[in-house]
Every structure is written in structure tokens, then in C-alpha cells.
Structure 1
Amino acid sequence: MNEPIPFLDVVGVNSDVREELDIAWKAVLQHGRFVGGPEVGMFEEQFASYCEASECVGVGNGTDALELILTALSIGAGDEVIVPANTFAATAEAVCSAGARPRFVDVEPGTLLIDPDAADAAVNSRTAAIVGVHLFGQMIDVPRVAAVARRHSLALLEDAAQAHGARFAGRRAGSVGTAAAFSFYPGKNLGALGDAGAVVTHDRSVADRVRRLANHGSAPGNRHVHRERGRNSRLDSIQAAALSAKLPMLDDDNRRRSALMEAYAALLPASCAPVAVSPEAQSAHHLAVVRTAQRERAVSALDSAGIGWGVHYPVPCHLQPAFSAFREQLPTVEKAAEQILSLPISPTLGQADVARICEALRGVTS
């Protein structure tokens, strides 16, 4: 009897760095600065450098990161923000929480990432920003989307929650927009031991305001003076220490993911085609997403073989009840939502596991 293959192997990933995590935990326990300890600043410096940016502000989670960026840029009531409909609900939630209106647009049929032409067509007098969501580990077509933003004098925000370490045309996720929002949810390529996030930017003024907003709007150097209404969204010392322990492994882990995707591409049956990757993209392969016209049969085959799976995302944002006020007709993303299927991918997965997964799918016909 074969052992089950989990969709997400968080335990295995953390086991590989258990000694480093134990050391980090003991260090924080010893000094007792669980909020605002030295580990936070150290990780912020490390991650900014890794992203090839100048500033990083650790925050409570990835959703907060995006909302804090919008607020720091004074984007809110009366503004529209262009958002691809193929993304997790948190992207649109952040826009709404900031007081702005999400304008959902369609995606490119190959990569399922934001369609630059659709974004261009959606711009109007109220548009303030474009959120480029680097989905499944792959960055958007940066030159084309950035050109749209420049042409209309819009902020380009990166939702990089699934793209730690990804590149497009040589440029790292987190370095190409006005600012980038990262999530370190435990299942991410760089995952914390709970909720955590960060804002990465080249703009010191944006970073300074995000830091102030995330700490109750308090003035620098004087926590008793609150210059504006903020919130409590701070990266704690334990999570920062864990992220610093895991960051040196990220590039090697991403290379393992890339090798697994190559194996999938070689072994998957024709009925399960991987989502396209642009020739200019170096994907972090956060998710192994395929398209199949027989998703129910594929899921049944995986279940029978003891193999985990997921769907990201079966209901596009523009069709979610929570965003019914912002409905659009977006045929590409709607068709894809009926076909996409996420297969297991993790640095702990082996080539034999991929072969077994592909074998289980071999009987699924298009």
C-alpha cells in the first residue's frame, strides 16, 4: 500500500530546518521582546536585499500588506483599482477595506495572469492603481503591465503572495512596482509558523507611512503621539526569526520545485496540461496548476490513489457573492475556473512521487 501524498507538506518543509528554528525560538525566549525584537529588523533588511529592493516593513499578514500599501498611497473612497478576477479573495478584500472599488478584468488564456490589454481598456478617470497578481508562482508580464500604468500615471502594486523568489526578464518579484505585498502564510514558498506578511518597496516615504500605519499611526520615536488612525499589524519576533532561518533555503527549494514541474510536464497525460509559463518568467512554482476538461474524474482518480489536490480558484472573484456589486463578464477566467486543478508540489516531493501522481491521472481522458 502506497503512503498518501499530501497536497501540502508543511511538516516536512519545517523539519528540514528544525535545528535553526529551535535556535531562533530559544533566542527570542531569552530576550523576551516578542513584539519589536531585533529579529524583525534583521529579517526586514534580509528580505529587502533578497527582493532587490531598498525597503521592507514586516506586517501581520499579506492582506494587511496590500491594504496598508493602498492606504499609504492615499487610495480609497472614489478610487478604482484594477484587479485580475483570477486571484484569492484577499486581493479584492484589501481594495474594498481601503475604501476603493475593485475593477475586475480578465486574464491571459495561457498564463491565467492579468491581461495587460484588458487592464488598459478598464482605465477610467477614477482609476488609481493596477494590482498585478503574481499567481501560482509566476510574475505578470511586467513590461506590458508597467507600460499601461505609466501611460495612465497609475500606481503598479504587486500582489506577490505566491511569488517569493520569482523573476520576470531578470527582475525579482517585489522590485518592479510602486510597492509589493508578500504573505508568509505557512504554506507559502517562504512560510512562517503562523500569519505574517511584508511590504517591500523602493520608496522610503511609502515604507515609512506603512510602518506608521501598521503601528497605530504612532509618530516615529514617540509612541504616545498618533498622527493618523492606523491599526495593529506588526510582524512579531518569533515569525521574523523563523523567516530568517528559512530564507537561505528559498532559492534551493524553488529550484527543487522547478525540477518537479519539469517532471510533471514530461509525464502528465495530454488530458492534464500545465498552465503556461512565459519564456521570460522564472517561476517560483508555488502551485502546480493544470487544466483538464475532466476535473471531476481527475479528482476521483487522485482520491482513489491517496493523493492530495486543490483548486485555485473554482469561483473567480467577480462571481463571489461578497463582490456582487462589481460583476463583470470575463469569459477567459470563467472557463479556466471550471478546468484548473492544483497538484502536489513541495521541496520534499520526489520524482517518484510525481511519476505516481501522473500515473494516477493517466486514465483521465479529455
Structure 2
Amino acid sequence: MELASQLSREQRKIQDLLSSLGFALRSLSNLNQLLELIPLMAARVTDAEAGAVVLFAEDNQLGLVKLYCPDANWQPSLEALLEPLRELHADQAAAIEAKLASDPWVVAQNTSILVKSALRGRLYVFSRVANYHWTEGRQKLLRLVADQTAVAVENDTLNKELQRKEKLDRELEIGSEIQAQLLPRSCPRIEGIRLAARCLSADKVGGDYYDFIPIIHTNRWGIVIGDVMGKGVPAGLLMTMTRGMLRAEVLRKDPPALILEHLNHVMYADLENSNRFVTLFYSEYDPTTRTLHYSNAAHNPPLYWSAHTQEVHLLDTQGMLIGLEPGSLYQQQSQQLNAGDVVIYYTDGFTDAADRDSHRFGEQGLNQAVRWAVTHCESPEQILEYLFEQLRQFCPNGHCGDDMTLIVLKAE
């Protein structure tokens, strides 16, 4: 009867300890606080005198040792044995563990802390009692505590990853807001033409760029569209740099070809170091002569639709990518604009968009859409909306993989 009562008390003690561990696992958000309890729980459920949890080093960081040992005289020697484990990875710990097991006056038992089948640490218990038996029941209880520890370690890792992701998302949101502020908030009112434009980034921060730049002390306007190789934050940073440098070059009032030559010269070193390049189409509209002067740095040439001939041709000149060669030279052409003429500037994200079967929208698809739009839509805003709607129908999943930018210019 006494034996049954003792077993019942032991069972209740173990249940209370494990219940406390479960509560701590749910309640403590700090892994370090929870690990303070683990060695105590391990020692109590196995009737050992001391316990320790060791997390092995990883990612060039030291591991962690937490020790429970109520005997102040014994604690320093245990700490001295366990401390070297902090600097070891899981596959280097066998020698120290052999030393622990070789002490004739100490019974040392351990079990692995496994996170997704990867060894992250060990849970130890120690006893100096001569007749201490490492029973199957004690093994199972220590294994249970080790499994709870593994859950806590994995939860902590996931929480840190989530915090890093949330921080990155916040930074990307800020970057996206700054980039959106750098793009024109609205299209300017320019004598003789009407404009509409839209930029859609594949990520929160993109590498597409367009701008309308008033040329001081003249009535001319710079109209530019560009695309930095790649997308995301690196492309977005280079896009911002390109915008600032181009605006500085425009202040010199040089012709478009010379502006691109100077821009390539000043940006070459930075772009070479980043292994990225920029395509850019720069044009200037002169309301006095109703003429569009332009130069192309390997960008997709805009489509020009003549209201008189009802034909579409490309506005293009020879020129290398910005950042490819330091001494690149650029050519320049001009196009007289008459009432009803339309110019479509675009980036390759528009034509490279693919449907579920990997068929590209392509230059042909854009050309067909433009031909319908310019003959059925009255305003540049309507043309712009129609072209994006055609792309949405072509990519019904709503994700076309790259940044997409359009500028529609219509002569009045």
C-alpha cells in the first residue's frame, strides 16, 4: 500500500513538473528565460542532482550552457566541464562528452535536442548516487523534456526570422514610398501634347524609371524612360542614382545625345562595380517647333504612330547601355509631331510578360494593341488604360514577373 502511494506521489510530481514546463513554454517569449528552467526540470523528473542544457555553436556564434546544480561545491567543476561545449559545433562535442562520462564518481546521462532532425544541443543530467539507475522511465522523461526544449528553440528561430522579415518589409515599404515620391506625381501640362504614364513594380522596389524634366529658361521638356538591369532593392537604388544624375546633366542644356554621353561617363564606375547596366531613352520636346529630339541608350525604342499615314514605326538611334563602356558615343534623331500623332514609351517588362503557357506578350502583341488603341481611344489616359487592360487579360494571374512602365504622348 505504501509503495502504491509513493508511486502515485511520484507520478503526480512528474505531471506537475511537466505541466509547469508546458506552461512556461506557452508563456515565456524569451528563450533564455525558458532555458533557465530546462536543467531544473530535467533533474527533477529523473531524480538527478544536477542538470544542464547545451546548445551548440552555429553561424559563427557561441553556443549556450545553462546549468542547474544546488550543490555550490560541485557546481564549479561541472561548469568547467561544460563550458568548452559552448565553442563547439555538434559534430565536435564527442570528446568532451566522453570526458563527462568517464568520471567514476559521476553518473552522466544525456539526450539529443533535435530540431528538424538536426542536432542543435544536448540535455544532461548528473548524479553522484552510487545506485542511481538510468531506467527506461527516466530515459523517456528526459527525452520528453528534450523534445519540449527543441520546440522552444525552433519557435525562437522562427520568431527571429519573422522579426527580420517584418523589419525588411518595413524597410521595403519605406523604400517603395520614397521611390514612388521620386516618380512624377502627375503628368505636366505641356503646350502641344498630352501625357499619361504609369509604373508598376514587380516587387515593392523596382528598377523602372520615367520622368518629365523641365529644362530651365526654355519651354522645352525632357521625357525619359529607363530600366535598370534586374529588379528589387539593388535596381531601385541604381534607378534613384540614375534619376539624380540625369537631372543634373539636363541642367547643362546639352542635346540628348551629349546628355547620354555625359551620363554614361559619370555613372560608368558605379555601374561597373555593381555589375549592372541601365537602358535609357531620353527625348526632348520643343513646343515651339513641335519636334521631339531623342537619343537611345539600348532601350526599347518607342512606337510612333502617325495620324497622317496611319502607320507605326520605331523611334530609335544607335547607342550602348549606360555603364557598359566608358567612352560610348550616342546618336540623335528628331521627329516632327502633328496633331493626332501618338508616341508609346515602354519598358521590356511589358513585352516580356508571359501567360500560363509561357507565351510572351511581345512586341507584336504591343504593336497590335497600340494600333487598336490609337484609332479607338481619344485621350492618352484611355490609350494607357487600354494597353494595361490588354496585358491584364493576357496575364490573368495578375503577375507578369517584371517591372512595367508606359508613357503615352499624344500630339494635339
Relative contact order, higher structure (CA 8 A, sep 6+): 1
Q: Which has the higher Rg, Structure 1 or Structure 2?
A: 2
TM range (shorter): under 0.3
More helix as a share of residues: 2
TM-score normalised according to structure 2 size: 0.20
TM-score normalised according to structure 1 size: 0.21
More strand as a share of residues: 2
